[in-house]
Amino acid sequence: MPTADIIINPVAGGPRIAPDTRVTLARQALAALGASGEVFVAERRGHAREIAADLARRGRELVVAWGGDGTVNEVGSGLAFTSTALGIVPAGSGDGLARELHLPRRPADALRVAIEGRRTAFDVGELAGRLFFNIAGIGFDAEVARRYNERTTSRRGPWPYIPLTFGALWAYEPDCYRVSLDGTPHEGRFFAVILANSRQFGNRMRVAPEARPDDGVLNALLVDHRSPAGHLWRLRHLLVDARRAPGIVRCPVRAATIEGTRPLCCQIDGESFTAGTRVEARVHPGALWLRR
């Protein structure tokens, strides 16, 4: 009998589905697939990671993150560098990694993929000592993530990002950065410094078309600063073919250092935090097992 333990974020995607309903759905889906396992509900920030790490120490075969990119990040961080595999049931606002992996949106179908899918090695990124699996960034994208995470409303999904992005665009003043990409120096007033393990932020915005989560490198993007109108003009390329967007340096990278003149606003998989004036980043090739 296959086994799969499930960790549910009760607020992922908004309050449309009550936590008890999600637990019932998870148990029903396990039974329908002839699988056994425990179902957990994360109670606070960081709890999903604690649960996942404990399950990995117990030698569990598969742990499924039921939630958005933040939930996937917590569960994946608890499983990285172990033999326990990660599965994903997408239920978040952007679900960038799940969309990139072409995972089903219906929970029962996504759980079937996690249980019956092939086990593959997946690269893991690290920024300022924190692991990420999709995209990390410093600068404007991190500022938008900060505003999104600090909202007082509970509305989820892609639509709140639109006014937040436009509001931040007119107010944001980028820092001057010194960036080293595998030892090659770059200096400038960058709008954003992005490190991509896969191609999209979420909601099909493919900012890094060359990125692959199993190639042993991250894709670094240094986005130059422009006027708000210039950024909006560039945005149309990011929505269609990001490789045509002007003013962006792109290159594969295994290790990077980013220095600014003030504390750095960072984000990993959509979760924002503030670091010091200097951070390091690197890739850990094949550090996570994934079922897909």
pLDDT tens, the chain, 292 aa long: 789 999 999 877 555 667 778 889 899 989 999 999 999 999 999 999 999 999 999 999 999 999 999 999 999 999 999 999 999 999 877 788 998 899 998 888 999 999 999 999 999 999 999 999 999 999 998 988 887 776 656 555 555 666 667 666 777 889 999 999 999 999 999 999 999 999 987 666 788 889 999 999 999 999 998 887 777 777 766 666 667 777 889 999 999 999 999 999 999 998 999 999 999 999 999 999 999 9
Q: Are 290 and 85 in contact (CB under 8 A)?
A: yes
pLDDT for 245: 76
Structure confidence at residue 155 (pLDDT)? 54
Return the axis-axis angle of helices 161-171 and 140-149, rounded to nearest 10°: 130
Give the domain-ending residue among 117, 138, 161. 117
Q: CA 258 to CA 254: how far, in whole Å?
A: 14
Would 122 be classed as within a structural domain? no
Q: Considering the entire predicted model, what is its pTM?
A: 0.90
Residues 6+ positions from 155 with CB-CB distance below 8 Å: 14
pLDDT at site 144: 84
The pLDDT assigned to 151 comes to 64
Q: What is the pLDDT of residue 93?
A: 72
Question: What gap in Å lies between CA 240 and CA 51, rounded to an integer?
Answer: 39
* 136 and 278 share one domain: yes
Residue 227 in domain: yes
Whether residue 18 is contained in a domain is answered as yes
3-state SS class at 283: strand
Nearest to 134 by CA among 106, 161, 102, 98: 98
Do 270 and 214 fall into the same domain? yes
93 and 175, same structural domain?
no
CATH number of the domain within which 112 lies: 3.40.50.10330
139 and 272 together in one domain: yes
Question: Do residues 248 and 224 lie in contact, with contact meaning Cβ atoms separated by under 8 Å?
Answer: yes
Among the candidates 94, 117, 140, a domain finishes at 117
Query: In terms of domains, do 255 and 186 share one?
Result: yes
Write down which residue in 84, 117, 150 finishes a domain: 117
Contact in structure between 112 and 272 (CB atoms under 8 Å)? no
Buried b (16+ CB within 10 A) or exposed e, 232-248: eebeeebeeebeebeeb
Domain count, the chain: 2
CATH number at residue 273: 2.60.200.40
Predicted pLDDT of residue 234: 75
Six token digits for residue 37? 């396992």
Q: Would you say 68 and 12 are in contact if contact means Cβ atoms under 8 Å apart?
A: yes
Confirm whether 292 is domain-assigned: no
Query: What is the C-alpha separation between 242 and 199, in angstroms, rounded?
Result: 10
